[in-house]
């Protein structure tokens, strides 16, 4: 279960994500002195009723209930980050989104005849990589480019869609399992000390490498 919210709160000092004991939380400074914050934990809220068709319905999560549950989860431990508690204290149901996270199984095809899958329809993944919308835009970009190459010739449509599928299927297969693994790691209840020690080590290594070699941010070609 995940919660995402935008609340009018004092700006958090900088972007941070906290991984706890079966839950995670993050704060990101936003324009206008606002803070974007999110939390995630396992929950029964918004579950399907027995016998409900899981392919045709996505049960809504009651935001008020979700906020109450989240506050209970996050107030249970004394070592919580103050900015997370502050965001939760100031949140209102009107300014908060609460969602159940659904993943899609890997699909063998993205194209069937003239039907094309893009975005979450093609590769719905957990939000932990922060890549779902990025990949949806990449799908749209590649599809538009390939359609443009047909120059309106219907005979070139099939090959164009086949090229779209060939270019986008690797990401559609590769990223959801990585995002899932990240979610499992972030929300782990067992092996937390080993996880935190490993991450601290990786963080130090990354810091050292970026100090000695400098950091480069890839830009779109």
- For position 136 contacting ligand FAD by CB under 6 A, the verdict is yes
Please name the helix (run of DSSP H) or strand (run of DSSP E) that holds residue 24, with its range, or none: strand 23-30
Report the site for ligand FAD in 142-161 (rule: CB under 6 A): none
- For position 17 contacting ligand FAD by CB under 6 A, the verdict is no
Rule CB under 6 A: choose which of 86, 119, 167, 180 binds ligand FAD: 119
With contact defined as beta carbons under 8 Å apart, do 88 and 12 qualify?
no
The pairing of beta strand 115-116 with beta strand 34-41? unpaired
- Count other C-beta atoms under 10 Å from residue 44's C-beta: 8
DSSP state for residue 2 in the 8-state scheme: E
Strand, coil or helix: 216? coil
| Phi and psi at residue 24, to the nearest 5° | -140, 160
For the bound state, the minimum distance from the C-beta of residue 130 to ligand FAD, rounded and expressed in Å, comes to 4
Rule CB under 6 A: choose which of 133, 162, 197, 205 binds ligand FAD: 133
In the stretch 61-100, what mask flags binding to ligand FAD with x, by CB under 6 A?
A: --------------------------------------x-
Residues that bind ligand FAD (CB under 6 A): 2, 4, 99, 119-121, 127, 130-134, 136
């Amino acid at each position: 279960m995940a919660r995402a919210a935008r609340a009018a709160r004092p700006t958090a000092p900088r972007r941070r994500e906290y991984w706890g004991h079966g839950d995670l939380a993050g704060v990101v400074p936003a324009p206008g002195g606002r803070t974007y914050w999110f939390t995630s934990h396992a929950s029964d809220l918004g579950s399907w009723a027995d016998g409900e068709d899981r392919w045709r319905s996505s049960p809504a999560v009651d935001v008020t209930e979700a906020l109450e549950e989240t506050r209970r989860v996050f107030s249970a431990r004394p070592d919580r980050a103050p900015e997370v508690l502050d965001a939760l204290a100031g949140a209102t149901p009107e300014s908060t989104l609460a969602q159940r996270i659904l993943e899609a199984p890997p699909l063998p095809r993205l194209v069937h005849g003239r039907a094309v899958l893009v975005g979450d329809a093609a590769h719905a993944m957990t939000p932990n990589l922060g890549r779902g919308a990025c990949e949806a835009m990449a799908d749209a970009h590649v599809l538009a480019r390939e359609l443009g190459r047909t120059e309106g010739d219907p005979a070139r449509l099939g090959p164009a869609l086949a090229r779209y599928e060939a270019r986008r299927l690797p990401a559609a297969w590769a990223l959801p399992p990585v995002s899932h693994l990240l979610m499992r790691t972030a929300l782990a209840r067992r092996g937390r000390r080993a996880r935190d020690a490993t991450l601290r080590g990786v963080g130090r290594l990354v810091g050292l490498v970026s100090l000695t070699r400098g950091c480069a941010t890839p830009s779109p070609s």
